[in-house]
Amino acid sequence: MAIRTVEFEGQDIHLIGPMDGIQKALTAGLHLTRRPERMCLIVGEQGMGKTVGSRLFCSQHPDAVYIQIPPASVMRPGRLLQLLESALEMPVAGAPTLFDRLHGIIAELRQRPRMVVFDNANRIRKYDYIDMLRYVHDEAGARMAFVSIPSLEYVFTSYAEFASRVQIKHHLRPLTAPEVQAILTDFPAEVAQAIYEATGGRTRSVMVLAELMRTGVARKQWTAEAVKAVARTFTLRAA
C-alpha cells in the first residue's frame, strides 16, 4: 500500500485514512465556487487528526485560512470577529462598531476570496454566532468549512437556515488494520495488528502507542501481549 507522507511542524504526516479524508473534503470545499451555498462540514471522533489535518491543508493552500475556535465560555461576538480579522490579516486598528467590523470582513472576503476553516467548531453554540457566520457567508459569498466532533451536526440540524447551506458533509473514519500496518512498517505484522486493536484505529492513539513501544520496550519484546500491557497501562483508548 503506497502512502504519501509529508513533514509538517516537525512530524511526519501520513496522508492515509482520516488524514486523507480531511484533505479531500477540504479540497472539495475549496472548489465550491459556483454555488451560493458554500459550506463544508467535517466531523470525526477525538484523536482522528482533525486539527493537524486542517492546519496542514491551510498551510498548503494560500486561499484557505485556519481558525481555532476558543472555549465557549470565553466566546463573544467581538472575539469571533477578531479571530476572523486576524486570520484574514486585516489591520489591527479596526472599525469602531461590531457592525462596521462585520462589514469590513465581508468587504475583505469579497475583494480577496478565501475559504475559512473553523476548527473545534462545536464551540460555536449560540445562535447569534452561528447567524453572524451565516451572514458573512451569504454577503461575501465566502466558502466555510467547519471541523469538529460529531456533536457539531446537532448545531446544523437545529438551525435549518444554516444547515441548508452545507453542500459537503464528510464523516472521518478510523484507520483500518491494513493502513496501520502500512504506517508501522518497522513492527512485525502481529504487533501492528495488536496496536490497531488496542487503539481502534484512532490516529493519535496509534502514533502514541507505537512511540511508547519504540522507546519503552526492547525490540526483542515486541509482542502482541506487550502491546496490550502498554495500552492497559496508559489507557490509550481514552487518549
Distance CA 4, CA 135 (A): 38
Is this model's pTM higher than 0.85 or not?
yes
DSSP strands (E only) in 108-204: 115-119, 143-148, 166-171
Q: Which residue carries 486570520 as its cell? A: 87
Residue pair 181/194 in contact by the 8 Å Cβ criterion: no
Query: What value does the mean pLDDT take over residues 31-39?
Result: 85
Q: Which domains does the chain have, with CATH numbers?
A: 4-171 (3.40.50.300), 177-238 (no CATH)
For residue range 130-164, what is the model confidence (pLDDT) as tens digits? 889 999 999 999 999 999 999 888 877 788 888 88
Determine the pLDDT at residue 239: 41
Residue pair 114/65 in contact by the 8 Å Cβ criterion: yes
- How many C-beta neighbours within 10 Å does residue 161 have? 10
Mean pLDDT of the chain: 90
Determine the pLDDT at residue 125: 77
User: Which residues fall within 8 angstroms of residue 43, CB to CB, at 6 or more apart?
Assistant: 147, 148, 149, 150, 152, 153, 169, 170, 171, 172
